[in-house]
């Protein structure tokens, strides 16, 4: 059955990707409503065989809407997601506003699609981009041997900070090429040719981004005893998050068994074979594609039965827009 779909934050990087994903996956849209702030109202965005005009977001925006995809930040979601739900829409929210609310399911369709069917507030949360690709890769291993401890280091693309961040990275690279000192306004320091810790402080010396990996992983996998040790950094890549993951289990798991499980895992593309320079999954190749790429699956040298993996995915697609649209598909 066709649905009336609203996209909140339609002019942003993820919002535009949501429009492209709805179209690319032939989601049954009977009417598309593009919503954004007053300064973006009137813009035309391509959709289908034509274009959709952006409307200003307001309390009356959700009349007759079946599904509302939100990607406009936590403050907008806190204010408008309950309004949309009260109007009868199922809200799928990409911000951090509702992820840890016990009344709101946190869903990755390859991992816990059934959670989307129980939504007391009418809201479903889309996890953080770095969490999504990690749990897609780890879900089949968790089912087989139950995860005890994850040590994850992320290498996150600048597009995760928004289009202004991408433009600043590009401008900094031009400045460096001219022999000039690059300016940092969007980033806390120079991003080009550098690596940054680029998120707000959390607790106990961790950033907010790192704590998301801890809390969201436990909620999605349904196991509060999983220990997660995270380190997150931003790298001068436009699109595609990469993750180095060390994982320990309640029973030993071999690399061969893990590869067998990952070959059959939904949403995963596995790179196998002997180590060779340049053969591992790379963000440049993952950009503008849907899968979660897993490679370098190998036994840990110091912890018997533990594994190390390299995981890469497009953070705007599987890390945001695609996952949200897949949740909507679960509901149709």
Annotated catalytic residues are 129, 241
Taking the CA atoms of 22, 23, 28 and 30 in sequence, report the sign of the dihedral they define. Answer: positive
Q: Please give the order of strands across the beta sheet that includes 55-56.
A: 55-56, 29-36, 3-8, 67-70, 90-93, 123-125
For residues 123 and 93, the answer to whether their CB atoms sit within 8 Å is yes
Burial class (CB in 10 A: 0-12, 13-18, 19+), 284: exposed
What are 12's two structure tokens?
Answer: 């942003």
Contacts of 254 (CB under 8 A, 6+ apart): 299, 305
- Residue 70's SS3 state is strand
For residues 161 and 168, the answer to whether their CB atoms sit within 8 Å is no
The DSSP element (H or E) to which 331 belongs, if any, is helix 322-331
CA-based nearest residue to 27, from 57, 69, 89, 81? 69
Contacts of 170 (CB under 8 A, 6+ apart): none
């Amino acid at each position: 059955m066709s649905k009336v779909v609203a996209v909140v934050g339609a002019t942003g990087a993820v919002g535009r990707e949501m429009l492209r994903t709805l179209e690319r996956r032939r989601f049954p849209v009977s009417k598309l409503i593009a919503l954004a702030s007053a300064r973006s109202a009137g813009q035309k965005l391509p959709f289908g065989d034509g274009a959709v005009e952006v409307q200003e977001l307001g309390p009356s925006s959700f009349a007759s809407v079946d599904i509302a995809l939100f990607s406009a930040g936590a403050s907008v979601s806190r204010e408008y997601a309950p309004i949309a739900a009260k109007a009868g829409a199922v809200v799928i929210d990409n911000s951090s506003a509702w992820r840890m609310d016990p009344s709101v399911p946190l869903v990755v369709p390859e991992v816990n699609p059934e959670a989307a069917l129980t939504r007391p507030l009418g809201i479903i949360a889309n996890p953080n981009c770095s969490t999504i690709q990690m749990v897609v890769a780890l879900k089949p291993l968790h089912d087989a041997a139950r995860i005890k401890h994850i040590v994850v280091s992320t290498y996150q693309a600048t597009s995760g900070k928004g289009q202004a961040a991408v433009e600043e990275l590009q401008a900094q690279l031009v400045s460096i090429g001219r022999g000039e000192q690059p300016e940092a306004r969007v980033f806390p320091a120079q991003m080009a040719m550098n690596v940054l810790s680029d998120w707000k402080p959390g607790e106990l010396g961790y950033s907010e981004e790192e704590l998301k990996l801890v809390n969201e992983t436990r909620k999605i996998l349904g196991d509060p005893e999983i220990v997660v040790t995270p380190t997150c950094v931003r790298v001068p890549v436009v699109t595609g998050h990469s993750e180095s993951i060390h994982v320990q289990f309640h029973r030993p798991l071999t690399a061969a068994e893990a590869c067998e499980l990952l070959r059959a895992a939904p949403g995963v593309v596995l790179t196998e074979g002997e180590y060779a320079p340049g053969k591992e999954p790379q963000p440049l190749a993952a950009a503008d594609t849907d899968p979660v790429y897993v490679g370098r699956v190998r036994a840990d040298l110091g912890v018997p039965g533990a594994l190390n993996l390299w995981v890469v995915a497009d953070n705007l697609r599987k890390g945001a827009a695609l996952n949200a649209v897949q949740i909507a598909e679960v509901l149709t």
